[in-house]
């Protein structure tokens, strides 16, 4: 009880400090910024029963290997990411980008290869489809922009939930959040008063 009695005269100052810290944390949390996420959507290895022949017509290999990979980069933030760069170990044999948009290619002195986008708007995604015939696909080294570095997330198929159920869940989440805030403010008011 002696600790509470010694803190009681300063309860208004402590309450003001706690509220100021909560406001600072909340302001920092809602500040718009870019946030990049990248993932491999699909990867597959086809074994084609099509022989490879040399110039004399002799069969060198009875099969061919075709490897494909589909990757996506997504800006989940609330601010535009500029100078988005996807860096691969080497230049892929074949690649396409989706959606169709302007990008730059850059080959580095150590054989690394980059695809550079001018910008990626909030909630916008950018896909790269890689294909290699009888070769290996390059690994994605990293994805970065001027604002941040991308985080790799695992992507899996997901069942689409009905919109009415999602609205109901959001109502419950909002009610729970408002109730929690009310209880915290009531507790602060009770401790001050």
Rg of the chain over Cα atoms, rounded to whole angstroms, equals 27
Phi, psi dihedrals of residue 54, rounded to the nearest 5°: -85, -170
Contact 76, 124 (CB under 8 A): no
CB-CB contact of 153 with 37 (8 Å): yes
Which pLDDT band holds residue 156 (cuts at 50, 70, 90)? confident
123 pLDDT band, cuts 50/70/90, is very high
Phi, psi of 92 (to 5 degrees): -65, 155
Written as one string, the DSSP assignment of 82-144 is EEEEEEESS--SEEEEES----EEEE-TTS-EEEEEEEE-TT-EEEEEEEEESSPPPPEEEEE
Give the global pTM.
Answer: 0.69
d(CA 78, CA 119): 13
pLDDT bucket at 14, cuts 50 / 70 / 90: confident
**Cα–Cα dist 15/92, whole Å:** 59
Is pLDDT of 58 > 90?
no
- Binning pLDDT at 50, 70 and 90, where does residue 2 land? low
């Amino acid at each position: 009880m002696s600790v509470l009695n010694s803190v009681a005269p300063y309860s208004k100052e402590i309450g003001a400090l706690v509220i100021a810290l909560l406001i600072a944390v909340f302001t920092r949390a809602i500040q718009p910024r870019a946030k990049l996420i990248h993932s491999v959507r699909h990867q597959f290895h086809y074994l084609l029963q099509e022989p490879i022949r040399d110039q004399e017509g002799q069969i060198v290999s009875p099969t061919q290997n075709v490897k494909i990979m589909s990757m996506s980069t997504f800006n989940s933030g609330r601010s535009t990411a500029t100078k988005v760069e996807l860096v691969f170990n080497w230049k892929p044999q074949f690649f396409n980008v989706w959606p169709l948009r302007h990008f730059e290619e850059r080959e580095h002195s150590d054989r690394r290869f980059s695809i550079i986008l001018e910008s990626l708007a909030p909630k916008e995604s950018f896909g790269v489809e890689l294909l290699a015939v009888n070769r290996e696909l390059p690994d994605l080294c990293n994805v970065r922009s001027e604002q941040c570095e991308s985080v790799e997330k695992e992507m899996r198929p997901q069942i689409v939930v009905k919109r009415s159920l999602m609205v109901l869940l959001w109502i419950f989440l909002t009610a729970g959040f408002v109730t929690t805030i009310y209880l915290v403010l009531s507790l602060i008011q009770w401790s001050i008063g």
